[in-house]
């Protein structure tokens, strides 16, 4: 598939990083079994019939989603993947790596001590490789030739994030939950865009003429395949911290994120604290990429077939 670069739109996007929200806010998911049937029934109701049933909050969420473009979704995802790359690299080279649940006292990412846990270190090493792969794919979609052209080059983490296990794993869990929520929304939005193209509603609703319905379907599939890996990261973080059961959910959540790029509950807003110097020390994406080969391990796999 030949994706066209979107320089004008991308340049506009990279100048924006809007509104802040407390990244650590969590949303619960209670009584799902009791309400699943009505929710599924509502999801299958024709859009024309559901429109009149939307609450003001639902209408606001749908309006925000409708503003998201392919380039905006890919840009938000690229920022998230670069953030994850920087996070996992610094976890592998920071003092936290000497925790007994990781490389152990005196150990390192490439030399786990006898009192460390090789498997847990490998989880983080593989996660680093995977996030880099995701970013490379998104970069190609956006027509960015190299990582130095990415919209964000420095990420900020709370002081002590890479010193001990508790804050590191707490941050890992928060980040991966947000990434999962972002990709869940991306799947929904790409699928909706594809439906608009097929129904030829572009005169009435937003539709990016650069993409066919099949290409938008494929972007939804790619988003799902990436989300699956982010789910693995969330669970393996719980393995590292001995949180049992590690696989503690029937369904992943959107983490309160209701759109990818636009709106007050977007993924961009959720990530903004990590782009803000007041959050804590800054860490360079380019440093992480330049040195990742010394701590990462190979991982197989490629994007799903078109």
| Secondary structure class of 279 (helix, strand, coil) | helix
The CA distance from 22 to 272, in Å, is 9
Q: Which of 274, 272, 244 is nearest to 257 (CA)?
A: 272
For the chain, the distance separating the N- and C-terminal CA atoms, rounded to the nearest angstrom, is 8
pLDDT of residue 36: 37
Residue position matching structure tokens 């925790």: 99
pLDDT of residue 94: 98
Number of CB atoms found within 10 A of residue 6's CB: 21
Bridge partners, 111 (sequence order)? 108
pLDDT of residue 199: 84
pLDDT of residue 53: 75
Q: Residue ranges per domain, the chain?
A: 59-294
The CA distance from 54 to 287, in Å, is 47
What phi and psi values does residue 119 have, to the nearest 5 degrees? -60, -45
Pair 160, 168: CB distance under 8 Å: no
Q: How distant is the alpha carbon of residue 142 from its chain centre? A: 16
For the record, the structure tokens of 33 come out as 């079994």
pLDDT of residue 207: 63
Contacts of 17 (CB under 8 A, 6+ apart): 152, 268, 272, 275
Bridge partners, 154 (sequence order)? 284
Pair 172, 233: CB distance under 8 Å: yes
Range 237-242, long-range pairs (CB < 8 A, 24+ positions): 237/123, 237/169, 237/172, 237/173, 237/176, 238/169, 238/173, 239/120, 239/123, 240/101, 240/102, 240/117, 240/120, 240/123, 240/124, 240/165, 240/169, 241/101, 241/165, 241/166, 241/169, 242/101
* pTM for this model (two decimals): 0.84
pLDDT of residue 188: 96
Q: Is the dihedral of CA 252, 258, 262, 267 positive or negative?
A: negative
List the chain residues with pLDDT less than 50: 1-45, 47-48, 204
pLDDT of residue 26: 35
The CA distance from 242 to 250, in Å, is 19
**pLDDT tens digits, 164-200:** 999 999 999 999 999 999 999 999 999 999 998 888 7
Contacts of 144 (CB under 8 A, 6+ apart): 10, 78, 150
Q: Which of 89, 68, 78 is nearest to 140 (CA)?
A: 78
**pLDDT tens digits, 276-294:** 999 999 999 999 999 999 9
């Amino acid at each position: 598939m030949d994706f066209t670069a979107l320089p004008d739109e991308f340049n506009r996007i990279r100048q924006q990083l809007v509104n802040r929200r407390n990244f650590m806010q969590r949303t619960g998911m209670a009584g799902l079994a009791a309400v699943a049937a009505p929710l599924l029934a509502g999801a299958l109701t024709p859009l024309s019939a559901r429109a009149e049933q939307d609450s003001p909050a639902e209408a606001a969420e749908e309006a925000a989603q409708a503003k998201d473009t392919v380039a905006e979704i890919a840009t938000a995802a690229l920022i998230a993947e670069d953030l994850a790359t920087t996070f996992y690299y610094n976890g592998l080279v920071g003092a936290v790596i000497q925790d007994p649940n990781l490389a152990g006292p005196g150990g390192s990412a490439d030399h786990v001590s006898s009192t460390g846990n090789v498997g847990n270190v490998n989880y983080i090493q593989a996660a680093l490789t995977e996030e880099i792969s995701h970013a490379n794919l998104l970069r190609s979609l956006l027509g960015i030739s190299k990582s130095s052209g990415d919209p964000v080059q420095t990420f900020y983490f709370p002081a002590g994030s890479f010193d001990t296990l508790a804050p590191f794993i707490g941050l890992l869990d928060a980040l991966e939950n947000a990434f999962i929520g972002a990709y869940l929304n991306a799947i929904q939005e790409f699928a909706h865009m594809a439906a608009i193209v097929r129904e030829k509603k572009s005169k009435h609703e937003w539709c990016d003429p650069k993409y066919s319905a099949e290409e938008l379907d494929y972007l939804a599939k790619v988003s799902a395949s990436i989300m699956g890996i982010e789910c693995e990261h969330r669970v393996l973080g719980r393995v590292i911290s001995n949180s049992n059961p590690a696989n503690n959910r029937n369904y992943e959540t959107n983490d309160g994120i209701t759109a990818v790029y636009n709106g007050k509950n977007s993924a961009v807003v959720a990530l903004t604290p990590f782009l803000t110097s007041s959050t804590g020390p800054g860490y360079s994406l380019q440093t992480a990429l330049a040195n990742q080969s010394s701590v990462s391990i190979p991982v197989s796999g490629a994007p799903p077939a078109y």
